[in-house]
């Protein structure tokens, strides 16, 4: 299920991200700004139950979120989205998956996996800046499924149609949230027009 989130704030901040003159400092700020708009939308389907709450005046109805929520940035660019997501839901737990792109095969190779205990009810949100070939995310998703995950959501700022198609074909049950769908991939598997190397631009490397 593909969800394209558009909003004037998201689109104007994305424009700053795309601009090659944008400094790392401003790049990070824009990622946080977009992430905070996206988090609001992405978390709106969390399961809840009705509870009673005592106000100073009387008892009334409220709700509480019933599932464990885990945010997992894909190292390293995905780390940029963690602060706005944690700010929106500080009760979430955090995992980290490190996947390196093999520059010859363009396949994702896992080099780090540290994720809290998950079960089939856990709501997992994979945070990534660029959904390009989908290789890194497919690798993360298949590993999480082996760990028992059943509710995985992908959050990516910019996506290529190729990556979306690949995830949708291999894992049609997974919800993908993105702020932009770009034209496609170039011969080096970078998203075009894109924003370049998200990790480098975020970290100033
Ligand atoms: N990763 C990036 O950082 N940029 C792209 O365009 C594709 C993958």
Counting DSSP H helices and E strands in the chain, the numbers are 6, 12
Q: Is residue 205 pLDDT above 90, yes or no?
A: no
What integer pLDDT is reported at residue 151 of this predicted model? Answer: 98
The closest of 191, 185, 131, 193 to 157, measured between CA atoms, is: 131
Given 18, 101, 143, 166, the catalytic residue: 101
CB 81 within 8 A of CB 73: yes
- pLDDT band of residue 101 (cuts 50, 70, 90) is confident
DSSP 88-121: H-TT-EE-EEEEEE-TTT--EEEEEEE-----TT
Per-residue pLDDT at 104 exceeds 80: no
pLDDT at 3: 97
For residue 78, what pLDDT is reported? 96
pLDDT, position 9: 96
Kindly report the length of the chain: 205
Ligand 1 site residues, Cβ closer than 6 angstroms: 77, 130, 132, 190-191, 194, 197-199
Q: Which residue has the tokens 């049609």?
A: 172
Q: Which residue's alpha carbon is at the smallest distance from atom 7 of ligand 1?
A: 190
Concerning whether 105 is annotated as a catalytic residue, the answer is yes
Ligand 1 centroid to residue 55 C-alpha, Å: 49
Average pLDDT over residues 95-103: 88
Among candidate residues 60, 104, 105, 169, the one labeled active-site is 105
- pLDDT of amino acid 19: 98
Q: Does residue 102 carry a pLDDT above 90?
A: no
Q: Is 101 a catalytic residue?
A: yes
Compute the distance from residue 160 Cα to the ligand 1 centre, in Å: 10
Q: Hey, what domains does the chain have and what are their CATH numbers?
A: 2-203 (3.40.50.2020)
Nearest CA to ligand 1 atom 4: 197
Residue 188: how many CB atoms within 10 A of its CB?
9
Check: CB of residue 177 under 8 Å from CB of residue 156.
yes
pLDDT of residue 96 exceeding 90: yes
Distance CA 34, CA 38 (A): 6
pLDDT tens readout for residues 144-167: 999 999 999 999 999 999 999 999
Please determine, for residue 100, whether its predicted confidence score (pLDDT) is greater than 90. Answer: no
**pLDDT tens-digit readout, 49-70:** 999 999 999 999 999 999 999 9
Question: Cα separation of 57 and 201, whole Å?
Answer: 52
pLDDT for residue 120: 95
pLDDT exceeding 70 applies to what percent of the chain?
Answer: 100
CB atoms within 10 A of CB 16: 17
pLDDT above 80 (res 107): no
């Amino acid at each position: 299920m593909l969800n394209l989130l558009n909003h004037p704030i998201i689109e104007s901040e994305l424009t700053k991200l795309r601009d090659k003159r944008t400094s790392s400092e401003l790049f990070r700020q824009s990622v946080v700004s977009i992430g905070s708009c996206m988090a609001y939308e992405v978390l709106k389907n969390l399961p809840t139950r009705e509870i009673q709450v005592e106000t100073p005046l009387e008892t009334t109805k409220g709700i509480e979120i019933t599932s464990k929520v885990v945010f997992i940035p894909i190292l390293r660019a995905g780390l940029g989205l963690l602060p706005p997501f944690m700010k929106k839901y500080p009760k979430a737990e955090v995992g980290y998956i490190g996947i390196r792109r093999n520059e010859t095969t363009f396949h994702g190779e896992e080099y780090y996996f540290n994720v809290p205990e998950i079960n089939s009810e856990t709501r997992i949100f994979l945070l990534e800046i660029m959904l390009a070939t989908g290789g890194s995310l497919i690798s993360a998703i298949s590993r999480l499924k082996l760990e028992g995950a059943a509710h995985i959501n992908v959050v990516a700022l910019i996506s290529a149609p190729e990556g979306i198609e690949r995830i949708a074909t291999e894992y049609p049950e997974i919800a993908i949230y993105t702020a932009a769908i770009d034209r496609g991939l170039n011969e080096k598997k970078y998203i075009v027009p894109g924003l370049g190397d998200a990790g480098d631009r975020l970290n100033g490397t």
